[in-house]
Amino acid sequence: MDIIILENSDQVAAQGAAKLQKLLLDKPAAVLGLATGGTPIALYRHLVVEHQNGKLSFRDASSFNLDEYIGVRPTDPQSYRSYMQRHLFEQIDIDVANTFLPECAADENPLEVGPKYEQLIAARGGIDLQVLGIGQNGHIGFNEPSSSLRSRTRIKTLTRETIADNRQYFDATEVQPQLAITMGIATIMEAREVVLLATGSSKAAAIRQSIEGPVSAMWPASILQMHERVTVLLDSDAAAELANRDYYDWVQEQKRLLLHEIEGA
């Protein structure tokens, strides 16, 4: 794990965006794994600005989102489809036909959505870079604690804690969904690279458990300890409970020195 602790949330967003930008420069037809929630909004803003400045194109890219609510129409402002349109897709040059979420149409059997989504990801050659947030309970996507570490895209019931955490995004009159379709943990683990972003003190315990605790289905993000290429971008609040912080900072310093030496040679 590459654990990078930054001063503030904007640096987290900027470094996350830079990773996606580098991937798209190297591989314009990259397959992106995208996330919703409060954390990636600033990352998407960086991508939009780079696109507007003519430095980034998504023309040949495709994307797969982690999750979508069941029972919320795509046009509903609360759907993750709407979120993605608003924060990213409408402001860049991606072909919307190449953007996918595990959506369940009104006439569709929700049990069939997951396997079809998996096939679609495979048909596009798999995900090159998956962006993740993390829940206060350690969930990734909507893989709540006790999710099978080998799970695939499927229906999940949200925990009461997740429903409470997401209440802030709904008006008092809006009915909050309790079910979602989410990429599974095995699906996420198949991405060739993962970048997890966490900001704010509300994430500090989940980050400590996931990075320094044992691999456990009770802290789903802890499975990332078994992925080959993971970068964790944290602000200092989210990193506050890490016991080995000195070491992570030291590693980054050593990397900078080594890179300087190699590039200077």
Tokens at 259, concatenated: 């890179």
What's the closest the beta carbon of residue 38 comes to ligand PGA, in angstroms? 4
> 20 φ, ψ to 5°?
-65, -40
Instruction: Please pick, among 139, 143, 165, 235, the residue that the annotation labels catalytic.
Output: 139
- Residues sharing a CB contact under 8 Å with residue 152, sequence separation 6 or more, in sequence order: 114, 115, 118, 183, 184, 186, 187
Q: Identify the residue among 9, 39, 209, 222 touching ligand PGA (CB under 6 A).
A: 39
53 among known catalytic residues:
no
Interface with ligand PGA: number of residues (CB under 6 A): 7
Q: Identify the residue among 10, 18, 19, 38 touching ligand PGA (CB under 6 A).
A: 38
User: How far is Cα 116 from Cα 221, in angstroms, rounded to an integer?
Assistant: 24
Q: Which is nearer to ligand PGA, 20 or 98 (by Cβ)?
A: 20
174 close to 78: Cβ distance less than 8 angstroms = yes
144 among known catalytic residues:
yes
32 close to 129: Cβ distance less than 8 angstroms = yes
Q: Identify the residue among 37, 138, 177, 184 touching ligand PGA (CB under 6 A).
A: 37
179 close to 256: Cβ distance less than 8 angstroms = no
Binding region for ligand PGA (CB under 6 A) out of 35-43, 123-131, 206-214, 231-239: 35-43
Residues between 108 and 147 with contacts to ligand PGA, criterion CB under 6 A:
133-135, 139
Q: How many CA atoms lie within 13 A of 236 on its CB side?
A: 4
| Interface residue list for ligand PGA (CB under 6 A) | 37-39, 133-135, 139
Q: Which residues are catalytic?
A: 67, 137, 139, 144
